[in-house]
């Protein structure tokens, strides 16, 4: 706090007039104290209320225009009110002030035109292949949208003693003890509720994997939260301890034991406050206010995200539009892409890999002109590692359905129910690029889960539960899969020889799907008769040899069949 006050007091001197006539004449001199107080108040508003980082670039950005305005106003006033003040010095002072203002404005407007290469460079973007897009177990693929998680959290708020005192904070997905949850902290509802409360009561956990799992209210007193005021405000508490860091993002997470923490991602600006980079995190115990600073490479394993979503969004944009510099961006437009607009709160969505590590996902479509027809297919997609900041670009998905098209297809399928599609996410399901699209009613209640094959919009499945949705999608793959759908080589083929215990043949129009139970095996194996016509003759007691990509599912498609 002392450094903040001293910094504000010193910078308030810039509010003093640079015109010497102000210092010589009693009429003008009597305003000096008032101007200093204004300058002191300005600094405290910037640093204490606005939480501005106390760095050289911040001081130049917010104080240089003050100097320019002061020169213009002071010289104009002195020339108007002091008859002995000559015109030439007044014009020189006003000209200097105008030069400062115009020069700074021009610099601020023109500078981005010269940063295309720097923006593309920091975005990175390594092109990778489908082999690096590892499948995730069906059990851990998140299907619960954030809006439904907030709906369930809001319902649970009624269990609090004074629910009108509080609001829901930001809802974020994270890994907790080997499963994925939407975590929502409970925040104060305004100044008076903060004043009358000793602490915020805790947080709410909603499963991101199973929509039927009951949410959990975890009571844990939290004093330092973003919605608190004055010295208990979380960001102000961190700013007073770390005055020079650039605070990029605040998120709420719990460790492996369920203890709550706020995570402040911090970093610095390059290119004169135009490009932000992440340096690490500060963890804050909301109960005690105890803080610990970590470089990004040393962050605890339980921390899910170090790079915030807005950093991932802007780097995806830079990666797409600045591939060959600023000239190509506006004229050549060769090879340019842009992230698909989903109409969601974030342009990126959190997805997980096999180890449940979080990445920010978005798909890219070809760059279109302003007001032009929006592309219905993607030219690739990216995964932005939320801990390392590495951006991976999957080019081999070019020509497949983009997320916006998958949402439209899902909504058209349930047009009579008037369901609304949530933010889609792309996963490797059964060796296929597959969109997971949640569908909700107008009250944000999850009604259906839909899986859409990214390579063919005619292949999709849905259900009220995850098991139903994945089972229906698997059957559609078995029934409609053809030469246009090439299974990804993401899982090794498993070979199994066994005796048929039971067989079920499902005749669907001009196609037959055969379901098989083998002796000693609990899972169901399925095969499409169009791929293996002899499968319709399989009977109990037959010995067959099958090959399949083992994704650990209860219903498993057969890739190769011999009997």
Residue-by-residue DSSP string for 205-271: EEESS-TTSPPEEEEEEE-SBTT--GGGBHHHHHHHH-TTSEEEEEEEEE-TT--EEEEEEEEEEET
Segment (H or E) for 461: strand 460-463
Same domain for 285 and 159: yes
Any domain includes 128: no
Determine contact, residues 403/346, Cβ cutoff 8 Å: no
Q: Considering the domain boundaries, does residue 271 fall inside one?
A: yes
- Domain membership of residue 21 (yes or no) is yes
**Cβ atoms of residues 335 and 325 within 8 Å:** no
341 vs 222, more confident: 222
Domain count of the fold of the chain:
5
Residues 97 and 199 in one domain: no
- pLDDT range class, residue 476, cuts 50, 70, 90: confident
Q: Which residues contact 471 (CB under 8 A, 6 or more apart)?
A: 461, 463, 554, 555
Tokens of 399: 């020509």
Q: Are residues 423 and 503 in the same domain?
A: no
Examine the domain organization and report whether 241 and 354 are in the same domain: no
Domain-embedded: residue 123: no
The DSSP output letter for 296 is G
| Rounded Cα–Cα distance for residues 287 and 489 (Å) | 49
| Same-domain pairing of 529 and 450 | no
Do 63 and 181 share a domain, yes or no? Answer: no
Please, which contacts does 321-328 make with residues 24 or more away whose CB atoms are closer than 8 Å?
A: 321/367, 322/116, 322/117, 322/119, 322/120, 322/123, 323/120, 325/116, 325/117, 325/120, 326/113, 326/114, 326/116
Q: Which of 298, 322, 348 is the last residue before a domain boundary?
A: 298
Using CB atoms within 10 Å of the CB of residue 455, give its burial: 0 to 12 exposed, 13 to 18 middle, 19+ buried.
middle
Angle at 208 between CA 206 and CA 211, to 5 degrees: 75
pLDDT in tens, 114-131: 999 999 999 988 888 776
User: Is the residue at 422 inside a domain?
Assistant: yes
Q: Average model confidence (pLDDT) for the chain?
A: 88
Cβ-proximal residues to 396 (8 Å cutoff; 6+ apart), any chain: 129, 130, 380
Q: List 359's β-bridge partners, or say none.
A: 351, 385
- Assigned domain for 485 exists: no
Domain around 557:
493-562
Q: How far apart are CA 387 and CA 314, in angstroms?
A: 16
Residue finishing a domain among 269, 298, 327:
298
Q: Rounded to the nearest 5 degrees, what angle is found at the Cα of 424, between the Cα atoms of 423 and 430?
A: 155
pLDDT category of residue 488 using cuts at 50, 70 and 90: very low
Tell whether 439 and 468 lie within a shared domain: yes
Do 153 and 99 have their domain in common? no
Name which of 207-216, 249-258, 501-510 the model is least confident about.
Answer: 501-510
Give mean pLDDT, residues 449-474: 88
Average pLDDT (177-185) is: 93
- Tokens 């492996």 belong to which residue? 256
pLDDT by residue (tens digit) across 302-344? 999 999 999 999 999 999 999 888 888 888 778 888 888 766 5
Q: 125 Cβ partners below 8 Å, 6+ apart?
A: 319, 382, 391, 392, 393
195 with 292, same domain: the answer is: yes
User: DSSP 3-state assignment of 413?
Assistant: helix
- For residue 264, tell me if it sits in a domain: yes
Are 162 and 226 members of one domain?
yes
Do 291 and 321 lie in one domain? The reply is: no
Do residues 266 and 30 touch, judged by C-beta distance below 8 A? no
User: pLDDT value at position 487?
Assistant: 42
Predicted confidence (pLDDT) at residue 373 exceeds the cutoff of 90: no
Q: What is the pLDDT of residue 518?
A: 93
Choosing from 397, 418, 441, the residue where a domain stops is 397
**Model confidence at 274, in pLDDT bands (50, 70, 90)?**
very high
Domain co-membership, 159 together with 59: no
- pTM of structure: 0.82
Would you state the pLDDT for residue 531? Answer: 74
What pLDDT is stored for residue 489 in this prediction?
38
| pLDDT at position 374 | 64
Lowest mean pLDDT among 75-79, 106-110, 219-223, 418-422: 75-79
């Amino acid at each position: 706090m002392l450094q903040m006050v001293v910094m504000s007091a010193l910078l308030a001197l810039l509010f003093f007039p640079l015109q010497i006539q102000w210092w010589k004449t009693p009429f003008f001199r009597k305003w000096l104290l008032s101007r200093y107080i204004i300058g002191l108040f300005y600094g405290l508003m910037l640093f204490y209320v606005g939480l501005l980082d106390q760095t050289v670039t911040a001081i130049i950005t917010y104080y240089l225009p003050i100097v320019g305005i002061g020169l213009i106003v002071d010289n104009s006033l002195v020339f108007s009110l002091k008859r002995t003040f000559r015109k030439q010095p007044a014009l020189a002072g006003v000209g200097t002030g105008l030069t400062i203002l115009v020069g700074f404005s021009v610099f601020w407007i023109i500078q981005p035109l010269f940063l295309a290469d720097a923006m593309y460079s920091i975005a990175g973007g390594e092109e990778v292949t489908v082999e690096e897009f590892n499948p995730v177990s069906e059990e851990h693929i998140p299907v619960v949208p954030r809006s439904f998680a907030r709906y369930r959290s809001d319902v649970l708020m009624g269990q609090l003693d004074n629910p009108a005192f509080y609001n829901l904070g930001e809802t974020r997905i994270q890994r907790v003890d080997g499963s994925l949850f939407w975590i929502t902290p409970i925040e104060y509802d305004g100044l008076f509720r903060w004043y009358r409360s000793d602490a915020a009561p805790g947080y709410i956990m909603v499963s991101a994997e199973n929509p039927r799992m009951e949410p959990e209210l975890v009571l844990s007193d939290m004093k330092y939260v973003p919605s608190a005021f004055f010295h208990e405000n979380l960001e102000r508490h961190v700013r007073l301890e770390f005055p020079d860091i650039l605070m990029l993002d605040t998120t709420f997470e719990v460790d492996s034991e369920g203890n709550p923490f706020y995570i402040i991602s911090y970093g610095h600006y390059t290119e004169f406050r135009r490009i932000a980079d992440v340096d690490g995190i500060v963890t804050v115990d909301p109960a005690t206010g105890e803080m610990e600073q970590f470089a990004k490479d040393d962050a605890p394993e339980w921390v899910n995200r170090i790079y915030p979503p807005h950093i991932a969004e802007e780097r995806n944009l830079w990666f797409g539009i600045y591939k060959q510099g600023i000239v190509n961006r506006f004229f050549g437009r060769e090879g340019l892409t842009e992230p698909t607009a989903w109409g969601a709160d974030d342009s990126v969505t959190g997805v997980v890999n096999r180890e449940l590590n979080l990445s920010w996902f978005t798909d890219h479509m070809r760059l279109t002109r302003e007001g032009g027809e929006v592309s219905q297919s993607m030219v690739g997609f990216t995964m932005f590692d939320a801990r390392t900041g590495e951006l991976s670009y999957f080019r081999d998905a070019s020509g497949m359905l983009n997320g916006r098209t998958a949402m439209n297809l899902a909504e058209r399928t349930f047009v009579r129910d008037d369901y609304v599609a949530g933010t889609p996410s792309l996963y490797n399901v059964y060796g296929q690029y597959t969109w997971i699209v949640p569908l909700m009613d107008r009250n944000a209640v999850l009604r259906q889960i839909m899986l859409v094959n990214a390579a063919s919009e005619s292949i999709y499945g849905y259900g009220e539960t995850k098991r139903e949705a994945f089972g229906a999608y698997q059957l559609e793959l078995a029934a409609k899969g053809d030469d246009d759908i090439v299974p990804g080589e993401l899982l090794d083929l498993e070979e199994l020889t066994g005796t048929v215990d039971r067989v079920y043949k499902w005749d669907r129009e001009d196609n037959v799907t055969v379901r098989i139970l083998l002796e000693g095996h609990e899972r169901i194996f399925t095969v499409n008769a169009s791929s293996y016509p002899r499968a319709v003759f399989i009977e109990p007691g037959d010995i067959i040899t099958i090959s399949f990509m083992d994704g650990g599912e209860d219903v498993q498609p057969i890739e190769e069949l011999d009997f």
